[in-house]
A and B are shown apart, each in its own frame.
Chain A
Amino acid sequence: MDEKEKLFNSGILTGERKGAIKPPKELWETKKNGLVVIECPQRIPCNPCHTSCPTGAVKPFEDINDQPQIDYEKCTGCARCVAVCPGLACFVIDLTWGAEDKALIKLAYEMLPTPEEGQVVDCLNRFGEPVAKGKVVKITEPMKDKTLVVHVEIPKDLVMDIRAIRVV
């Protein structure tokens, strides 16, 4: 087993896979409010990303075990799936946000302490290593179930690295 596969087997995404692919570049760069990035590469019996999607962007599942498939044209970046996904595997990334070198990530947060809007937090990669500082722009609780959706301004070149925050 090579090093990449070993990492994947311990929960680290290594490159694109079925159920964990990047949105198409052109649409992504121009879509205001961002597009969903789902990292759900294993077939498991679960479909709330589809059933909660208000626009049908997460396509219907033929089999509940299927990995999610996305119609990016329909995605509005609303982040409802971010709030609902039991695996915390949905993110919304808005490349049109802010200055040229910035982007916005909307991610689920269920830890303490809760961040505050305007606060600067550590942005962590898939290993949990701090790789940048990010400013919390907005916090919502879409399902009123204690899962927060935190909007964080991050460096644009790290949008495929940053997947968590730590409030410091």
Chain B
Amino acid sequence: MRETEVLVVGGGPAGLSAAIEAASFGAKVTLMDSDLALGGQLIKQTHKFFGSKNERAGTRGFKIAEELFKELKEREENIETFTNCTVTGYYKEDGVVSCVKGEDEYFHVKPKKIVMATGAQERIIPFPNNHLPGVYGAGAVQTLMNVYGVVPGERVLMVGAGNIGLIVSYQLMQAGVKVVGIVEAMNKIGGYWVHAAKVRRLGVPIYLRHTVKEAIGDRFVEGAVIQEIDEKFQPTGNEKKLDVDIICLAVGLTPTCELLWQAGCKMSFVPQLCGYVAQRDKNMRTSHPDIWVAGDAAGIEEASSAMVEGRIAGLGVVKALGYGAPEEIQGRLEEYHMRLADLRGGEVGAKIREGIALCSVESWEV
């Protein structure tokens, strides 16, 4: 059976960062991603990132992915990469992981330590006809447009004014697609105000306290009805029909955590982090002594924090494996913890701070 010191599951911003950090101390890393290419959501992000210089603020997401790939390449003697390879199971009895590469190559790996950086899944909301072709998740729209260069349609209703809804609206406009409107159930936009201002000044209306009532169409989306809702999210009767061929859902993500459940990690339901997440210590170790978690799988947040969390998990793993000088590792950890605290410091980070407090433990040692 194939053996490895560190298995990193997921090659997005968190997984790449964890792999790079662990390999830089000499650990032998196996990095697996179910997609055809590494980079996770980063490769679809054509907008510039926020944060500080350390998080490469002002750089477009896909450029950040390129920089991470470069770092990965510099450590290639310590990192073996598998793409188009899905980790399908974790067997508690012997710590063996099952994987499927492509459609029919099935094999097992026995890692000493695992970093679960499995990312997130998009949420869907129920409404009549939401099964019609033309109803997309925002991630799918981004993949079509920004990875494959295909416009999804001509006229879009965006559902949700969080950062993803706002950013994807802007990217749709960059691709020449008309964004007819954005509906948001809350009484204020959930994403950064500046992202909203960016689409507003290009003429996109944002309907607060509105939701999609139904999709119109027989075989595909030919329109949408939006409706106003009150503070209890009940319809007020105020409806509007929009001429659209795409309904794009940007109504949130939920952490992908099946493998963590399988491994028997202690889980908590934390609404602030958008679902079930593994309880973790400061360095992202779960209740399972050989499993760490990082990125959206540990709670839905920004890619900038995912990258720092990945670094922290990577360091946690090498520390446990006995690589590197303890004081050097400690120094780096402290720096990363400071960066994370900065990123989560403001009002927009308040929810994240609350959520993390609900699933953090001081130490797993007894």
Contacts and interface: CB of A to CB of B under 8 A. Distances in A.
Interface of A: 1, 6, 9-13, 39-48, 51-52, 63-65, 84-89, 110-112, 124-129, 143, 145, 147, 163-164, 166
Interface stretch (B69-77, B146-154, B327-335, B341-349): B341-349
B200 A128 contact: yes
B349 A45 contact: yes
B59 to A, nearest CB: 8
A64 B184 CA distance: 28
Most chain B CB within 10 A, of A10, A84, A145, is at A10
B359 to A, nearest CB: 21
Given A48-B58, A110-B174, A42 B192 contact: yes
| Main SS class of interface, B | mixed
B196 A10 contact: yes
B334 to A, nearest CB: 17
A44 B50 contact: yes
B48 interface: yes
B52 A47 contact: yes
Contacts of B204: 128
A43 B348 contact: yes
A129 B203 CA distance: 6
Interface string B39-80: 000000001111111000111100100000000000000000
Nearest to A43: B346
Given A44-B50, A128-B200, A143-B58, 9 more contacts: A1-B187, A6-B208, A11-B206, A42-B192, A43-B348, A65-B348, A111-B173, A128-B203, A129-B203
B199 interface: yes
Most chain A CB within 10 A, of B51, B193, B208, is at B193
A63 B338 CA distance: 12
Contacts of A48: 53, 57-58
Nearest 8 A-B pairs (CB), nearest first?
Answer: A128-B203, A11-B196, A87-B194, A65-B346, A9-B188, A86-B48, A46-B50, A48-B58
Contacts of A40: 193-194
Contact of A45 (B184, B194, B199, B342): B342
Nearest to B345: A65
Most chain B CB within 10 A, of A9, A65, A89, A127, is at A9
19 contacts: A6-B208, A11-B197, A11-B199, A11-B206, A12-B197, A39-B194, A48-B53, A65-B346, A85-B48, A86-B50, A88-B198, A89-B194, A124-B203, A126-B197, A128-B201, A129-B203, A145-B59, A164-B201, A166-B202
B200 A44 contact: no
Contacts of B49: 86
Contacts of A1: 187
A10 B188 CA distance: 6
Given A11-B193, A65-B347, A125 B201 contact: yes
A143 B187 CA distance: 37
Given A13-B197, A39-B197, A45 B348 contact: yes
A42 B197 CA distance: 12
Contacts of A45: 50-52, 304, 342-346, 348-349
Contacts of A51: 52-53, 57
A87 to B, nearest CB: 3
Interface of B: 47-53, 57-60, 63, 161, 173-174, 176, 184, 187-189, 192-204, 206, 208, 304, 342-349
A51 B346 CA distance: 19
A41 B347 CA distance: 12
A4 to B, nearest CB: 13
Given A42-B348, A52-B58, A128-B203, A87 B198 contact: yes
Contacts of B63: 145
Most chain A CB within 10 A, of B51, B184, B342, B346, is at B346
B79 to A, nearest CB: 29
Contacts of B192: 42, 44, 87
A19 B310 CA distance: 32
A111 to B, nearest CB: 6
A63 B345 contact: yes
A147 B203 CA distance: 20
B336 to A, nearest CB: 15
Contacts of B347: 42-43, 65
A147 B58 CA distance: 11
Contacts of A126: 197, 200-201
Given A9-B187, A43-B347, A87 B203 contact: no
A43 B197 CA distance: 15
B210 to A, nearest CB: 11
